[in-house]
Chains A and B, each alone.
Chain A
Amino acid sequence: MTKAEFESAVREHQGMVYSIACNYFHNAAIAEEIAQDVFLQLYESHLSVETGTHCVAWLRRSTVHRCIDTLRRSSFRNEIQVDLMPEIPVDVPETDPFLQERLRRLIASLPETPRAVLVLRFGEDMDAEEIGRILQMPVRTVWSHLQRATALIREKASRYLKEKEDEPVRTRSS
Chain B
Amino acid sequence: MRRLMLVGLMAFAITASAQQLDFKVLDKIAGKATSSTEMGFDEATLKSTAGALDKKSLEQDLAKKAVEGLNGFFLRAYEFKNGDFKLDEIKPLLDQLKAPDWKPFLRVKESNELVEMWWHVKNGIVDGMLLIAAESNELTVINAMGISKPEDLMKLKDFGVPSIGAPTK
Touch A–B, Cβ below 8 Å = yes
Query: What is the size, in residues, of chain B's interface with A at 8 Å between Cβ atoms?
Result: 5
Which B residue sits closest to A75, measured CB to CB? B111
Cβ–Cβ contact B136 & A73, under 8 A: yes
B110 contacts A by Cβ under 8 Å: yes
Smallest distance from the beta carbon of A160 to chain B beta carbons, Å?
31
Residues of chain A lying within 8 A (CB to CB) of residue B2: 44
The answer for the CA separation of A76 and B110 in the assembled complex, in Å, is 9
Interface readout for B110-124 with A: 1 if CB under 8 Å, 0 if not?
Answer: 111000000000000
A74 contacts B by Cβ under 8 Å: yes
The answer for the CA separation of A73 and B111 in the assembled complex, in Å, is 9
The answer for the CA separation of A60 and B18 in the assembled complex, in Å, is 48
Residues of chain A lying within 8 A (CB to CB) of residue B111: 74-76
Smallest distance from the beta carbon of A48 to chain B beta carbons, Å?
17
Residues of chain B lying within 8 A (CB to CB) of residue A76: 110-111
Smallest distance from the beta carbon of B89 to chain A beta carbons, Å?
17
The answer for the CA separation of A44 and B3 in the assembled complex, in Å, is 11
Residues of chain A lying within 8 A (CB to CB) of residue B112: 73-74
The answer for the CA separation of A74 and B111 in the assembled complex, in Å, is 6
Q: Which 8 pairs from chain A and chain B are nearest by CB?
A: A75-B111, A74-B111, A76-B111, A74-B112, A73-B112, A76-B110, A73-B136, A44-B2
Given contacts A44-B2, A74-B112, A75-B111, 5 further A-B contacts (CB under 8 A): A73-B112, A73-B136, A74-B111, A76-B110, A76-B111
Can you name 8 A-B residue pairings with CB atoms under 8 Å?
A44-B2, A73-B112, A73-B136, A74-B111, A74-B112, A75-B111, A76-B110, A76-B111
